[in-house]
Amino acid sequence: MTLQTLYTIIAGPLAVLAITGFVLGCVYRIVMAVRQTASDRMVIEYFHPRYALRSILRWLTPYSTVNMRRHPIMTLVTFVFHLGMVVMPFFIFAHMLMVYEAFGLSWPTLPDVFVEWMSWAVLLALVFFLGRRLILPEVRYLTTLSDYLILLLIALPFFTGIWAYKGWWAAEWVTLLHMLSGEILLLAIPFTRLGHMVLFFMTRGYMGSEFGGIRHARDW
């Protein structure tokens, strides 16, 4: 199979599959969680949009909760990591270009140098998370094989992304690997612990509602 055929498959049907799977998977997660409230009515009864939002925003703001301040380095690493992983990919020139070529849409992007440094930061963050899992007894005790695999799953697209951008050895093939690993990651989000990407808003929102609306206490 030639490079071109592979590219057509990975950038075509597989990309469509990954994106569709990701979107449908996330919708499925949300629908399931809401459906399961049938035997847990109070989750809906006590839901309070204002307090839910209050808690969510609080937990999305760096250093605004007691526990974030207790772990300053972990907090810094976590926020850099999540920005690099969730937000940055939308603002990479090469990513935007693919959308532009397919749909004619374009938007401002980040300088490539910045993207490269952020990608290194994401990889370093993963090393940091791996270190925590190996060194801190309370984290090691909780860690399962899937937790290590998830770290690897995230590392792949970033590592191959840097490789392809730098034009190192066999960059064309690595570009394909980059796209493929990105697609696998995308598809894995709703079906692994990475699903916390959507479930965070539900669990935190519920707790914010309970604490704000019923318990009259802060939940951070």
78 or 109, CB closer to other proteins?
78
**Structural contact between residues 80 and 127, judged by C-beta atoms closer than 8 angstroms:** no
**What gap in Å lies between CA 178 and CA 137, rounded to an integer?**
34
**What gap in Å lies between CA 130 and CA 151, rounded to an integer?**
8
Stretch that binds other proteins, among 35-43, 84-92, 94-102, 105-113 (CB under 8 A): 35-43
| 172 makes contact with other proteins (CB under 8 A) | no
Instruction: Measure the N-to-C terminal CA separation of the chain; round to a whole number of Å.
Output: 54
Stretch that binds other proteins, among 16-24, 111-119, 174-182, 193-201 (CB under 8 A): 193-201
Closest CA to 194 of 136, 144, 139, 153: 153
Stretch that binds other proteins, among 19-27, 105-113, 132-140, 156-164 (CB under 8 A): 132-140
Q: In terms of C-beta density within 10 A (0-12 exposed, 13-18 middle, 19 or more buried), how is residue 174 classed?
A: buried
**Judged by CB under 8 A, which of 25, 55, 158, 162 binds other proteins?**
55
Handedness of CA 105, 111, 113, 117 (dihedral sign): negative
| 33 makes contact with other proteins (CB under 8 A) | yes
**Structural contact between residues 179 and 187, judged by C-beta atoms closer than 8 angstroms:** no
**Judged by CB under 8 A, which of 77, 176, 189, 207 binds other proteins?**
207
Measured from the CB of residue 50, what is the shortest distance to other proteins in angstroms?
A: 16
Question: Considering only residues 141-170, where is the footprint of other proteins by CB under 8 A?
Answer: 141-144, 147
Binding site for other proteins (CB under 8 A): 29, 32-34, 36-40, 42-43, 45-46, 55, 59, 65-67, 70-71, 74, 132-133, 136-144, 147, 193, 195-196, 199-200, 202-204, 206-208, 211, 214-220
